[in-house]
Chains A and B, each alone.
Chain A
């Protein structure tokens, strides 16, 4: 499974398919994620291979480009981090690596859903100040909510300049650290790539999707997608689309990992989910008949980001700023690409597993900070009878 395959498949049509890596990728992933970063390693002995893990697919990768950790000042002191989302566990691996490299650096972390932590930080800020120094969240909406509540301090210029402007706040209050693309996981026994329309607006009328699509409307990534649709097409059109999807008999799931699993099982033929869940399914079940399609230029092609921001009033501002630069280093970005299947945020690092590169995707032109208007989206979902 090579990049050539996806080129011949996808380069002619504007639509891009993702040939999920088969056995090779799965083995590589199993190799990486199977490693526990328990306490046996010696501190200080951290190389690129630790960030990248091992495996045939990864071994062929070029050296990542960008600012290396070697060129950054050492991390020293203690940081309190609020880590959003279940995938926060993957961030922990990265943070553990940094703690191993810098014996004088320790973190104290709190793991919860991004939106819950955003609410907590806003409450804490209302009452005075958050005990957290840095907020790492899995969606820009949560970062935007905290930023809009005036709870952030500025980010270092070196960090902001490393990341394309569409993946950071226009006022520099938060910065993306890993990309998460909306995608359509579909069952390859039931559908082929050409069955999937290039616009989500066409989904309700697509015959193959009647009574056989899935979504997770309580899931924050889905709500960000609907928020994006509202920003692009307005509330009325979004409501009509939601109602039409309901009329087409869509199935509800509690989260997008289950949507992707259900598509692999054939319980539904396709669904709405972030791209990396399908790779997680494939890494658990190599032969799952699952593939990904992307729509073009609309909400269905939204690229949301995991990102971080420094919280207002932190007594550790310098350490936090240096930490942000470490998260955007070549090594850390290689970690996100190879271990979490995310899109790296700096141009010098490539995505893995046959993913189209970030400039091959066609995301809509919106300010990700505006994804913070989740309240309006929940209203709309309720009016339409989705929630």
Chain B
């Protein structure tokens, strides 16, 4: 089916839903255009891959290395996703539904690891747990000769999990806060045990929330370069980077295509899990379920929350502070003088990327939320592909496309912001869509019957209700843009530095002390944007 056929079908379906077909059609056109726009950099992959002789392509695809790396990547993605669910869901339940002491505090600490760039987390863990690391030094007097190695699969899963589980935590918590608690009480009144009530009532309700978070985690694990590289675990991103370094673009593009296939696979799995999501979002959680009393479980629950916070926050920040202290004169870094303009560059870029992402997310999310068909959700699904494209692949694609087709945009802030929107739009789409799903469509019907046209009905009725979701989406895009490294390195204007390009350069040169302060500021500024995400709960 061609794109125009698809579109035609889409138009027919949307038009049957409404007596006035202009607005939905326009919406579908805009949403489709946005999704095609953000997918456009992938054209580069097809162009490059098209240059490969079929025999060579087959040889590359079936080589032992390719097979091994595929398996490695799969194991990593599955491991990180599963572990993130195992950490994120209990934390969400503890902070949303129990009498855990200091719930507000634990909510913030559970969400905050998202602000730590995973490559900084990985360095911190190598510093702490590596051979002769901080921990080994501490344990040596106690007769501990050797620690199990942090390198390889275990370290990569550990670090990626610790700095991405908040996606699951945040989406699960949002679901828990928004579903109708009276259902659980009804189940309990029917003599279901608490566990049965959870399994039969709560779990199906929050499953889409868990799946949405798990999707973000899985796609992040698939596309992350820094952590597997630092942990020396061979995955697609690391191989693709090495192939680019060796200027073998054919193999790099074959590997990139395989990586995209895996991303589509993850999307398909998530789509299946998400099939019954209508039930999850329809009722608005004005009535909270009765709080679960932890009783004897209070101490273990607190220990769990504190343990995660210690690993994700205290440890990396402690290591950064240690770099700062240890950075005597010998560590000071030549011409690497941090300038305040780098901070402004970072914040400005992130703010613009967040604003544009929210504007682009709105039509895509609205179409997906209000459409009953898979086709209506197609633009939304399509935007997720960009999230799975590693920054290094996207960066090269845009270098190539920029130079070839829009040379006046090459090394411009515009192309850089476009890269951020391509990569991080789905985060805004996700939060926006879940907010829109919680708006009762009958409100719009009411407004329409009062004579508002569709656009002003949307502006007057829907927009105020979804504003907190938009703010959360903007905050999420803001903080991931602040952390983004590879595309920033490749696409930034010459002479234009940011927090992360500076941190990357000084740590690459071994001047860790120089990296400590900007890294701490980066974490601090990102932490502020996290507060926006959490505040949304207060207003919903």
Q: How would residues 471 to 513 of chain B score, 1 for a CB under 8 Å from any chain A CB and 0 otherwise? A: 0000000000000000001100011000001000110111100
B538 contacts chain A at the CB level, 8 A cutoff: no
Q: A80-B494, A86-B509, A89-B511 are in contact. Are A283 and B330 (CB under 8 A)?
A: yes
Task: Give the chain B neighbours of A145 by CB distance below 8 A.
Answer: 247
Give the distance to chain A from B186, nearest Cβ to Cβ, in Å.
56
Task: Give the chain A neighbours of B410 by CB distance below 8 A.
Answer: 124, 131
B400 contacts chain A at the CB level, 8 A cutoff: yes
B131 nearest in chain A by CB position:
A267
Task: Give the chain A neighbours of B334 by CB distance below 8 A.
Answer: 33, 87, 89-90, 92-93, 339
CB <8 Å contact, A109 and B330: no
Task: Give the chain A neighbours of B54 by CB distance below 8 A.
Answer: none
CB <8 Å contact, B247 and A92: no
For B234, B330, B410, B506, which residue has the most chain A Cβ atoms within 10 angstroms?
A: B330
A127 contacts chain B at the CB level, 8 A cutoff: yes
Q: A38-B337, A89-B336 are in contact. Are A285 and B330 (CB under 8 A)?
A: yes
CB <8 Å contact, A374 and B247: yes
Q: Which of A89, A119, A127, A252 contacts B245 (CB 8 A)?
A: A119
CB <8 Å contact, A265 and B132: yes
Q: How would residues 199 to 243 of chain B score, 1 for a CB under 8 Å from any chain A CB and 0 otherwise? A: 000000000000000000000000000000110101000000011
Q: How would residues 273 to 293 of chain A score, 1 for a CB under 8 Å from any chain B CB and 0 otherwise? A: 000010010011100000000
For A34, A87, A128, A284, which residue has the most chain B Cβ atoms within 10 angstroms?
A: A284
Q: Which of B229, B232, B247, B411 contacts A119 (CB 8 A)?
A: B247
Considering the complex, which residues of chain B in the window 59-74 have a beta carbon less than 8 Å from any beta carbon of chain A?
65
Per the bound structure, the CA–CA distance linking A220 and B508 in Å amounts to 13
Per the bound structure, the CA–CA distance linking A145 and B411 in Å amounts to 22
Task: Give the chain B neighbours of A110 by CB distance below 8 A.
Answer: 494-495
Give the distance to chain B from A145, nearest Cβ to Cβ, in Å.
7
For B245, B400, B489, B511, which residue has the most chain A Cβ atoms within 10 angstroms?
A: B245
A338 contacts chain B at the CB level, 8 A cutoff: no
Per the bound structure, the CA–CA distance linking A145 and B331 in Å amounts to 32
Task: Give the chain B neighbours of A72 by CB distance below 8 A.
Answer: none
- Chain A interface secondary structure, helix, strand, loop or mixed? helix
A208 contacts chain B at the CB level, 8 A cutoff: no
A320 contacts chain B at the CB level, 8 A cutoff: no
CB <8 Å contact, B65 and A382: yes
CB <8 Å contact, B505 and A378: no
Considering the complex, which residues of chain B in the window 267-303 have a beta carbon less than 8 Å from any beta carbon of chain A?
none
B343 contacts chain A at the CB level, 8 A cutoff: no
Task: Give the chain A neighbours of B242 by CB distance below 8 A.
Answer: 218, 378, 387
Q: How many residues of B contact A (CB 8 A)?
A: 44
Task: Give the chain A neighbours of B489 by CB distance below 8 A.
Answer: 112, 116
Q: A122-B247, A262-B132 are in contact. Are A284 and B331 (CB under 8 A)?
A: yes
Considering the complex, which residues of chain B in the window 375-422 have a beta carbon less than 8 Å from any beta carbon of chain A?
396, 399-400, 403-404, 407, 410-411
Q: A110-B494, A110-B495, A254-B229 are in contact. Are A127 and B404 (CB under 8 A)?
A: yes
Q: A86-B508, A89-B506, A285-B330 are in contact. Are A378 and B335 (CB under 8 A)?
A: no
Q: Which of B247, B337, B399, B505 contacts A36 (CB 8 A)?
A: B337
Give the distance to chain A from B237, nearest Cβ to Cβ, in Å.
13
CB <8 Å contact, A115 and B245: yes
B332 contacts chain A at the CB level, 8 A cutoff: yes
CB <8 Å contact, A267 and B495: no
Per the bound structure, the CA–CA distance linking A267 and B147 in Å amounts to 13
CB <8 Å contact, A30 and B247: no
CB <8 Å contact, A127 and B407: yes
Per the bound structure, the CA–CA distance linking A387 and B410 in Å amounts to 33
CB <8 Å contact, A254 and B246: no
Q: How would residues 31 to 73 of chain A score, 1 for a CB under 8 Å from any chain B CB and 0 otherwise? A: 1011011100000000000000000000000000000000000
For B400, B404, B509, which residue has the most chain A Cβ atoms within 10 angstroms?
A: B509
Q: Which of A92, A119, A277, A285 contacts B335 (CB 8 A)?
A: A92
B244 contacts chain A at the CB level, 8 A cutoff: yes
Per the bound structure, the CA–CA distance linking A262 and B151 in Å amounts to 15
A257 contacts chain B at the CB level, 8 A cutoff: yes
Task: Give the chain A neighbours of B65 by CB distance below 8 A.
Answer: 382
Q: A92-B335, A119-B247, A387-B242 are in contact. Are A280 and B494 (CB under 8 A)?
A: no
Task: Give the chain B neighbours of A161 by CB distance below 8 A.
Answer: none
Task: Give the chain A neighbours of B404 by CB distance below 8 A.
Answer: 127
CB <8 Å contact, B505 and A374: no
Give the distance to chain B from A19, nearest Cβ to Cβ, in Å.
18
CB <8 Å contact, B333 and A89: yes
Give the distance to chain A from B345, nearest Cβ to Cβ, in Å.
14
A342 contacts chain B at the CB level, 8 A cutoff: no
For B246, B411, B509, which residue has the most chain A Cβ atoms within 10 angstroms?
A: B246
B148 contacts chain A at the CB level, 8 A cutoff: no
Per the bound structure, the CA–CA distance linking A125 and B368 in Å amounts to 43
Considering the complex, which residues of chain B in the window 322-356 have a beta carbon less than 8 Å from any beta carbon of chain A?
328-337
Q: A86-B505, A378-B248 are in contact. Are A123 and B400 (CB under 8 A)?
A: yes
Task: Give the chain A neighbours of B243 by CB distance below 8 A.
Answer: 378
CB <8 Å contact, B335 and A93: yes
For B131, B329, B334, which residue has the most chain A Cβ atoms within 10 angstroms?
A: B334
Considering the complex, which residues of chain A in the window 342-383 have a beta carbon less than 8 Å from any beta carbon of chain B?
374-375, 377-378, 382
Give the distance to chain B from A166, nearest Cβ to Cβ, in Å.
25
A339 nearest in chain B by CB position:
B334
A137 contacts chain B at the CB level, 8 A cutoff: no
Task: Give the chain A neighbours of B229 by CB distance below 8 A.
Answer: 218, 254
Q: Which of A131, A284, A378 contacts B328 (CB 8 A)?
A: A284
Q: How would residues 214 to 257 of chain A score, 1 for a CB under 8 Å from any chain B CB and 0 otherwise? A: 00001010000000000000000000000000000000101101
A134 contacts chain B at the CB level, 8 A cutoff: no
A2 contacts chain B at the CB level, 8 A cutoff: no
CB <8 Å contact, B330 and A26: yes
Per the bound structure, the CA–CA distance linking A107 and B90 in Å amounts to 54
Give the distance to chain A from B315, nearest Cβ to Cβ, in Å.
20
A108 contacts chain B at the CB level, 8 A cutoff: yes
For B151, B232, B242, which residue has the most chain A Cβ atoms within 10 angstroms?
A: B242
Task: Give the chain B neighbours of A218 by CB distance below 8 A.
Answer: 229, 242
A163 contacts chain B at the CB level, 8 A cutoff: no
Q: Which of A95, A96, A123, A280 contacts B510 (CB 8 A)?
A: A280
Task: Give the chain A neighbours of B247 by CB distance below 8 A.
Answer: 119, 122, 145, 374-375
Per the bound structure, the CA–CA distance linking A382 and B245 in Å amounts to 14
Give the distance to chain B from A336, nearest Cβ to Cβ, in Å.
12
Give the distance to chain A from B332, nearest Cβ to Cβ, in Å.
5
Per the bound structure, the CA–CA distance linking A171 and B246 in Å amounts to 23
CB <8 Å contact, A116 and B245: yes
Per the bound structure, the CA–CA distance linking A88 and B335 in Å amounts to 8
Task: Give the chain A neighbours of B501 by CB distance below 8 A.
Answer: 111
Task: Give the chain B neighbours of A119 by CB distance below 8 A.
Answer: 244-245, 247
A113 contacts chain B at the CB level, 8 A cutoff: yes
Q: A38-B337, A218-B242 are in contact. Are A116 and B490 (CB under 8 A)?
A: yes
Task: Give the chain A neighbours of B244 by CB distance below 8 A.
Answer: 116, 119
Task: Give the chain A neighbours of B508 by CB distance below 8 A.
Answer: 85-86, 113, 255
A108-B495, A218-B242 known, 10 other contacts, Cβ within 8 Å: A37-B335, A85-B508, A86-B509, A87-B334, A89-B336, A96-B335, A110-B495, A120-B490, A145-B247, A252-B232
B interface residue numbers (CB < 8 A to A): 65, 131-132, 151, 229-230, 232, 234, 242-248, 328-337, 396, 399-400, 403-404, 407, 410-411, 489-490, 494-495, 501, 505-506, 508-511
Can you report 15 A-B residue pairs in the complex whose CB atoms are below 8 A from each other? A29-B330, A33-B329, A33-B330, A34-B329, A34-B332, A36-B332, A89-B333, A122-B247, A124-B403, A128-B407, A257-B510, A262-B132, A267-B131, A377-B246, A378-B246
A interface residue numbers (CB < 8 A to B): 26, 29-31, 33-34, 36-38, 80, 82, 85-93, 95-96, 108-113, 115-116, 119-120, 122-124, 126-128, 131-132, 145, 218, 220, 252, 254-255, 257, 262, 265-267, 277, 280, 283-285, 339, 374-375, 377-378, 382, 387
* 9 closest Cβ pairs, A-B complex: A92-B335, A86-B509, A127-B403, A284-B330, A86-B508, A34-B329, A30-B329, A257-B510, A89-B334
